[in-house]
């Protein structure tokens, strides 16, 4: 079998001492940063981008695979012990994990999260191994009009999922697209939105945007609330980290169900990790024999969503690798990392960069094992990190954010851009605008424009091409439903609420 041969080649490369070391470093650093309160996986990956500058693309991506998973493991620790979700997808974990920790069962919650993540991550990686090449072959046949439609779908679902109000999500998305426009137009050489600043000819440095929005924005947000917001209480781990036989019995089915929910949804080019985690939470709540425990610390409510989260996270790599389309903020930052090394994910990646892809996939397997074996015992160490005074933590985050941006180009202009976007991220967060659509728009915008113009060139300038081709029209319809659906449902609920409730 071709796939197995390729995978074996990948393992051969991933097991080289340097790559093993990098995978280990990635996992450790990822958990280290991911465990910091408020820093979700997207921020973690963005903050650690500069560390990879010195390695060859393969080494850097192996490091990233570790950071990607590590950031997520770290995030679940914060969610359970501190009740602070690093991102929306971790919210269900806080719902059950934190009450568990409060009743002295933090060890079991952390263990089921970690083992569930391992199970889900490994199954999902197997899925990527076999479905990835197939999907890449299908993706090769996609025409520009459909490609553009799929990107619109990704935009629409990310906007709809993250924002409670589509208008604000769309504002964020379109601002991101506008940022992506800055620079020299690749087809005509025409400068757009550069205002005569030579540093902008290559476009806004997207790493500066990501670090600014996520890391600096988070630091400003923390600074603003430091004195007045109630301090989150750190709960002690209490007891050993592990699960009793009963915990195992109650966990293994939710793990598998969570994986079954998370992987397919994540693998769609319209995924994200939010829907599967909430879906898994509701499924577990409905199926559980301990319904009364839900809300007070039911282990199923940690096991299911954590597995779904990790499965979706791995699933997200599928559209990212085969189509070049990120469907979550974290995947967006990963795409930036790929592009920094002139590796353009997409249908051709599996052919042109075969060695790199398979090394990456192999290191996903290795990263999963490493995190389980190394991370679980190290959790007490991460917890110590959470006890550092907040002012020092924030200062450290700012130092590393600035370092990352500066090391990129040794250019103060980029640092200025990052500070500007930090302010923007702070303002958006304060006034209820999601930042994930912005980063996706900025990363994916140039590609969407290229496909848009290609499609238009094929149709000789006919704008209806996106609606007359059946597949493209269907995907665009789906996008509209994704955006308008939640709104319609809310309106429906409102009118129903006004009517008198029928008896019973």
Partner 1 sequence: MSAHEEAVSARDQTANARDKAVSARDQTANPTQGAATASAEGTAANDGADSTSPPDERPWSPRIAALLFLAAGVAVLGWAFAIPEGAIDQDVGPRAFPLLVGVGLCVSASVAVVQAFRGSDPALTEQAREEARLTEWRPVAALLALLVCYLFALAPCGYWQSTAVLFALVARVLGSRRILRDALIGLVLALAVYFLFDRLLGIHLPPGIVRLAF
Q: Which of residues 406-435 bind partner 1 (CB under 8 A)?
A: 406-407, 410, 412, 415-416, 419, 422-423, 426-428, 430-433
By CB under 8 A, residue 394 contacts partner 1: yes
Name 184's bridge partners.
191
By CB under 8 A, residue 193 contacts partner 1: yes
Q: Which of 20, 91, 403, 481 binds partner 1 (CB under 8 A)?
A: 403
Nearest approach, Cβ of residue 432 and partner 1 (Å): 5
Backbone torsions φ then ψ of 192, nearest 5 degrees:
-130, 135
Vertex 32: Cα angle to 434 and 423 (nearest 5): 30
Interface of this chain with partner 1, residues 163 to 182, rule: CB under 8 A? 164-168, 170-171, 174-175, 177-178, 181
Name 192's bridge partners.
183
By CB under 8 A, residue 440 contacts partner 1: no
CB distance 160 to 166 below 8 Å: yes
- From the list 319, 200, 341, 203, the residue with the least C-alpha distance to 270 is 319
Give the residue with the Cβ less far from partner 1, 131 or 487. 487
x/- site string to partner 1, residues 205 to 234, per CB under 8 A? -----------x--xx-xxxxxxxx-x--x
- From the list 107, 76, 104, the residue with the least C-alpha distance to 91 is 76
Whether the CA torsion 233, 114, 434, 401 is positive or negative: it is positive
By CB under 8 A, residue 21 contacts partner 1: no
Nearest approach, Cβ of residue 420 and partner 1 (Å): 10
Nearest approach, Cβ of residue 138 and partner 1 (Å): 27
By CB under 8 A, residue 240 contacts partner 1: no
Q: Which of 187, 197, 480, 489 binds partner 1 (CB under 8 A)?
A: 187
CB distance 82 to 383 below 8 Å: no
Give the residue with the Cβ less far from partner 1, 56 or 164. 164
By CB under 8 A, residue 15 contacts partner 1: no
Name 370's bridge partners.
none
CA dist 244 and 169 (Å) reads 43
CA dist 40 and 63 (Å) reads 17
Interface of this chain with partner 1, residues 338 to 367, rule: CB under 8 A? none
By CB under 8 A, residue 457 contacts partner 1: yes
CA dist 364 and 242 (Å) reads 24
By CB under 8 A, residue 473 contacts partner 1: no
By CB under 8 A, residue 60 contacts partner 1: no
């Amino acid at each position: 079998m071709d796939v197995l041969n390729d995978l074996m080649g990948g393992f051969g490369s991933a097991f080289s001492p340097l790559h093993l070391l990098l995978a280990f470093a990635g996992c450790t650093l990822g958990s280290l940063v991911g465990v910091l309160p408020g820093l979700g996986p997207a921020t973690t990956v963005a903050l650690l981008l500069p560390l990879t500058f010195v390695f060859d693309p393969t080494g850097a991506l192996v490091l990233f695979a570790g950071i990607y998973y590590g950031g997520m493991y770290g995030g679940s620790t914060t969610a359970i012990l501190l009740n602070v979700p690093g991102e929306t997808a971790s919210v269900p974990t806080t719902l059950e994990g934190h009450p568990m920790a409060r009743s002295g069962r933090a060890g079991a919650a952390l263990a089921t999260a970690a083992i569930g993540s391992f199970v889900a991550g490994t199954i999902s990686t197997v899925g990527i191994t076999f479905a990835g090449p197939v999907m890449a072959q299908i993706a090769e046949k996609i025409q520009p009009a459909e490609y553009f439609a799929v990107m619109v779908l990704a935009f629409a679902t990310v906007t709809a999922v993250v924002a409670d109000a589509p208008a604000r999500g769309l504002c964020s998305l379109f601002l991101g697209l506008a940022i992506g426009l800055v620079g020299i137009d690749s087809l005509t050489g025409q400068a757009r939105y550069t205002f005569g600043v030579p540093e902008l000819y290559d476009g806004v440095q997207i790493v500066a945007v990501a670090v600014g929005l996520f890391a600096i924005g988070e630091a400003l947000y923390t600074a603003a609330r430091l004195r007045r917001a109630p301090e989150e209480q750190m709960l002690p781990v209490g007891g050993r980290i592990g699960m009793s036989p009963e915990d195992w019995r109650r966990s293994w089915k939710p793990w598998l169900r969570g994986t079954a929910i998370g992987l397919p949804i994540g693998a769609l080019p319209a995924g994200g990790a939010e829907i599967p985690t909430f879906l898994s939470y509701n499924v577990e709540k409905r199926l559980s024999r301990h319904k009364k425990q839900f809300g007070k610390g039911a282990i199923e409510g940690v096991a299911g969503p954590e597995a779904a989260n990790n499965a979706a996270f791995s699933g997200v790599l599928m559209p990212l690798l085969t189509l070049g389309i990120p469907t979550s903020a974290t995947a967006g930052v990963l795409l930036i990392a790929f592009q920094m090394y002139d590796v353009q994910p997409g249908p051709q990646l599996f052919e042109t960069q075969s060695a790199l892809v398979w090394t990456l996939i192999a290191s996903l397997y290795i990263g999963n094992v490493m995190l389980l074996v190394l991370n679980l015992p190290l959790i007490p160490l991460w917890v110590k990190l959470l006890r550092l005074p907040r002012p020092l933590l924030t200062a450290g985050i700012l130092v590393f954010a600035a370092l990352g941006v500066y090391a990129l180009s040794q250019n103060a202009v980029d640092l200025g851009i990052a500070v500007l976007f930090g302010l923007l991220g702070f303002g958006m967060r304060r006034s209820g605008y999601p930042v994930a659509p912005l980063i996706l728009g900025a990363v994916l915008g140039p590609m969407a424009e290229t496909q848009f113009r290609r499609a238009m060139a094929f149709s000789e300038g006919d704008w209806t091409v996106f609606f007359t081709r059946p597949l493209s029209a269907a995907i665009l319809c789906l996008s509209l439903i994704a955006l308008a659906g939640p709104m319609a449902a809310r309106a429906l609920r409102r009118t129903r609420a006004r009517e008198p409730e029928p008896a019973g």
